[in-house]
Copies of this chain bind each other. A is one copy, B any other.
Amino acid sequence: MRQMRAFSDARDWGRFHDLKSLTLALAGEVGEVAELVQWLPAERAMTADPPLRERLGDELADVLLYLLRLADVAGVDLSDAVLGKLARNGERFPVASFRGVAPERQ
């Protein structure tokens, strides 16, 4: 996040990095991930072979960079938010009831 902020500051890109623009950029990068996997046959979608892994790594990095930038601009402490979410998910989806059962909305 610090590197991203410095990168952006050095180029005076902060003016472009409002919440709406960054969310659009995030949707754009997730769209690129989608294009990489959309026609994979189901039986080849359990993992990625090396060429796909390489391309996915590249796009997932872009998703993470915009996500960090968005959290930074929104003033969100992402570590805090994730740890809180993991704790709540543990209570919301007890192992006893959800073993092998996909939740309606996970």
**A98 CB contacts on chain B under 8 angstroms:** 11, 13
**A3 CB contacts on chain B under 8 angstroms:** 86
Q: Chain A contact residues (Cβ within 8 angstroms of B): what range?
A: 35 or more
Interface of chain A residues 36 through 51 with chain B (CB within 8 A) = 37-40, 42-43, 45-48
Binding site for B on A (CB under 8 A): 3-4, 7, 10-13, 15-16, 18-21, 23-35, 37-40, 42-43, 45-48, 52-53, 56-58, 60-65, 67, 70-71, 73-78, 80-82, 84-86, 89-90, 93, 95, 98-103, 105-106
A-B contact pairs, 13 of them (CB 8 A): A11-B93, A11-B100, A12-B100, A20-B42, A21-B38, A21-B45, A24-B34, A24-B38, A28-B38, A35-B105, A63-B67, A65-B82, A65-B85
